Amino acid sequence: MTTTTFQPTGGSAVVSSPQGGRLYWAIADMLTVTKRNLIGYTRVPEAIFFSSVQPIMFVLLFRYVFGGAIPTPGYHYVQFLLPGIFVQTVAFGSIGTSIGLAEDLHKGLIERFRALPMSRWAVLAGRTTADLCRNIFVMALMTAVGYAVGFRIGTSVGEYLFGIVLLLLFAYALSWGFAFIGLSAPNSETAQLMSFPILFPLTFASSAFVPLQSMPGWLQAFAQHQPVSILVNAARDLMSGTPNPNLVLPPFTSVVSTGRTSSTVFWAVVWSLGILAVLAPVSVRRYRRRAL
Amino acid sequence: MTMAIQLEDLHKTFGNTVRALDGVSFGVEPGTIFGLLGPNGAGKTTAVRILTTVLQPDSGVARVLGHDVTAEPDLVRTLIGLAGQFAAVDENLTGAENLWMVGRLNHMSKAQLRDRSASLLEQFGLTDAANRPTKTYSGGMRRRLDVAASLVAHPKVLFLDEPTTGLDPASRSDVWTMIGSLVAEGTTVLLTTQYLEEADRLAEHLVVINHGRVIAAGTPATLKANMGATVLDLGFVDERTAHRAGEVLDVVNDKAPVVYGRTVEVNVNDGPRIVTEALRILEVEGIAPTTLALREPSLDDVFLALTGHRAELDATEAPGDLPSQDGRRQTSKRGRGK
């Protein structure tokens, strides 16, 4: 330290909501935290790079290794697979939310935030919003990867983009849920480990990689009604189009339609908003109450 | 006069068993530096977290400038600054960006913040490092940035939870100077520390807490005055000998000798007489001391007398790189006084 004299600073300049109301400051705080998290991402580009490697591996694995053995009536496998992989990618990406918050907690930043006159939900909203921005980047990348392995938009660009918006909404809602795990875990490694047992059954016991009809009855019952399948069905309808009845491969003799697109999309939106409406308040409550 | 900080019968239990605070009460006058002293786990951090609205008390009242921290947390947050036990800076952000973030979350305008940030970075000797990510900072630089961040919004009451833990002596001295000058500006500072030297040097008033209770309060001078006039230190070749010496020397004084490691310490009012008598007893017992010293009591001795163990004894659990203390405190193998 070079200077050891401190000039009097002329009175207090603490500004507590001088202009604008609570909502104004809540949004301002959220944007500040979002910006802070996004700066963090740019400082560790390796993290983004390597977190993109895994979904690309999944694309290659299922497209070229397993894909040939999985009959998907109504679709070429690559058309069937990619929307599923997209959903899996953004779902797993929401683990990042739990890791980020667990780190903030562990490093004392949450303690600092809680002593600041900032909005109570801004820390979580800033984190989930930054993760939403990351997902936008990831989806752009995955679209390019999809094109490279032979995926083609089966509908229109507009519907495809709508499908991406739907995935982002779903991932955003999941992020709020994983925020709870991040705030409950003792450290970031454990936060990651705690997230897997939730995501694994949801993403694999779903219609993401195989047609549901290939599963045993009891599993089908679960897989058919869980949110990841619902999102995958909606994304597939919007991105690859509805199943083509002329494209039927054994052992299935007929196409089991996922229903009309408008209905799959409707339920995907309902699930995403429902998850958000339930888990966001739960996580904010956790943030307020968490003993440090 | 409204007290800057007021605690009344504060209780906080974690789980069902750990009584972090067990009825703590004290008050801090505005514009003073107040030291909250105690070993690790004494409840210092819990008290600070309640006062800074980070944690809810189970019962009791905590006020900052007259405002109840549980009833008006939003208001209290605009009055306080907190530098917690960890240097809570975002490693991925630069020093300047960290101050920007905290300032914005304190709802300062961009113009205010620009000036304030620049002057704080200057004052804390971080101007050259301002645009480097803080993961490249040394421990001392991080801690300085952390304290700077707690000052961004000109808090009226500043809480510093072990502000110099992990700092080298030069940085410690800088932080002390900075804390002193804050009070000149009218800021009230509550400082927790395990370093008696730090409390002695900075704090006008102190409370010592242990196991969630206040066990002593007063100025550093009165606390020292309550001790005997002189401390007799006797060193021995090994711990066993010291222990035996402690037993045989029990008769020389009203206050029992305290044994820690290879040293026996006796608080006495009549130094020269006791020295003579102690040496006579030891000679009869065939124990020869290796060192002998008569000295003024330090806050260390006060602490030892009050809590039964050395101040830094439990500090090994403290986060990160512990400072290498002066030799007197570095011997961490010392047993607790029995």
Size of interface A-B (CB pairs under 8 A): 132
Percent of chain B residues topping a pLDDT of 90: 37
**What is the spatial order of strands in the sheet that B157-161 belongs to?**
B80-83, B157-161, B188-193, B33-37, B205-210, B213-218
Task: Out of A95-104, A151-160, A241-250, pick the least confident.
Answer: A241-250
Q: Which chain B residues have a beta carbon less than 8 Å from that of A16? A: 74-75, 78, 107
pLDDT in tens, B26-49: 999 999 999 998 877 788 899 999
Q: What are phi and psi of B10, to 5 degrees?
A: -80, 130
pLDDT in tens, B128-147: 999 999 999 988 888 889 98
**Min CA distance, B159 vs chain A (Å)?**
11
Contact B93 A36 (CB under 8 A): yes
Q: What is the pLDDT of residue A27?
A: 94
Listed in sequence order, the residues at least 6 apart from A86 whose beta carbon sits closer than 8 Å to its beta carbon are: A139, A142, A146, A163, A164, A167, A235, A239
Asked if the model's pLDDT at residue B124 lies above 50, the reply is yes
**Min CA distance, A55 vs chain B (Å)?**
25
Q: Which chain B residues have a beta carbon less than 8 Å from that of A10? A: none
| C-alpha to C-alpha distance for A115 and B52, rounded to whole angstroms | 6
Q: What is the pLDDT of residue A276?
A: 94
Instruction: Considering only the beta carbons, identify the residue of A6, A14, A291 that sits closest to B106.
Output: A14
Q: What are phi and psi of B217, to 5 degrees?
A: -150, 150
The DSSP string of A100-167 is HHHHHHHTTHHHHHHTSSS-TTHHHHHHHHHHHHHHHHHHHHHHHHHHHTT---SS-HHHHHHHHHHH
Name the A residues in 24-53 with CB < 8 Å from any B CB: 25, 28-29, 32-33, 36, 39-40, 43-44
Q: What is the pLDDT of residue B259?
A: 83
Q: What is the pLDDT of residue A3?
A: 39
Interface test with chain A among B48, B107, B112, by most A beta carbons within 10 Å:
B107
**Residue B42 DSSP symbol:** S
Q: Which chain B residues have a beta carbon less than 8 Å from that of A122? A: 105
| Domains in chain B with CATH codes | 5-218 (3.40.50.300), 224-330 (3.30.70)
Interface test with chain A among B90, B114, B146, B189, by most A beta carbons within 10 Å:
B90
In degrees, rounded to 5, the angle at the alpha carbon of residue A81 between the alpha carbons of residues A76 and A85 is 165
More confident residue, A11 or B17: B17
Instruction: Considering only the beta carbons, identify the residue of B78, B86, B116 that sits closest to A16.
Output: B78
Instruction: Please answer whether residues A105 and A187 qualify as being in contact, where contact means their C-beta atoms are separated by less than 8 angstroms.
Output: no
Interface test with chain A among B67, B93, B101, by most A beta carbons within 10 Å:
B101
Q: Token pair for residue B188?
A: 């009230």
* DSSP H or E stretch at residue B244: helix B239-248
End-to-end CA distance of chain A: 31
Asked if the model's pLDDT at residue A204 lies above 50, the reply is yes
Q: What is the pLDDT of residue B228?
A: 63
Residues B148-169 have a mean pLDDT of 88
Average pLDDT of chain A, as a whole number: 85
pTM of the model: 0.79
Note whether A109 contacts B: Cβ–Cβ < 8 A: yes
Q: Token pair for residue A77?
A: 């496998």
Kindly list the domain boundaries of chain A, sorted by start residue. 22-289
Q: Which chain A residues have a beta carbon less than 8 Å from that of B74? A: 16, 117
Phi-psi map region of B66: left, alpha, beta (phi>0 left; psi -120 to 50 alpha): left
Q: What is the pLDDT of residue A11?
A: 39
Asked if the model's pLDDT at residue B326 lies above 50, the reply is no
Q: Token pair for residue A107?
A: 């490093």
pLDDT in tens, B62-106: 999 999 999 999 999 999 999 887 778 999 999 999 999 999 999
Residue A292: Cβ-neighbour burial (10 angstroms; 0-12, 13-18, 19+): middle
**Min CA distance, B115 vs chain A (Å)?**
11
Q: Which chain B residues have a beta carbon less than 8 Å from that of A2? A: 125
Task: Out of A147-156, A251-260, B83-92, pick the least confident.
Answer: A251-260
Q: Does the interface ipTM go beyond 0.85?
A: no
Instruction: Please answer whether residues A268 and A192 qualify as being in contact, where contact means their C-beta atoms are separated by less than 8 angstroms.
Output: no
